[in-house]
Amino acid sequence: MRLQRLEEVLDANLELVRRGLVLHTFGNASAVSREEKLVVIKPSGVSYDEMKPANLVVTDLDGKIVEGELNPSSGLPTHLVLYRAFPNIGGVAHTHSEYATAWAQACRSIPCFGTTHADYFHGPIPVTSVMKDEEIASDYEKNTGQAIVQAFEHVNHAAIPAVLVANHGPFTWGPTPKAAAHNAVILESVARMAYFTLQINQRVEPIGRELHAKHYLRKHGSNAYYGQTRKGN
Q: Which residues are catalytic?
A: 119, 226
Q: Report CA-CA distances (Å) from 7 to 18, 40, 92, 136, 185.
A: 16, 10, 15, 33, 19
By C-alpha distance, which of 105, 89, 152, 145 is closest to 125?
152
| Ramachandran category for residue 143: left, alpha or beta (phi over 0 → left; psi -120 to 50 → alpha) | alpha
* Cα 32 from chain centroid (whole Å): 14
Say how far apart CA 110 and CA 124 lie, in whole Å: 5
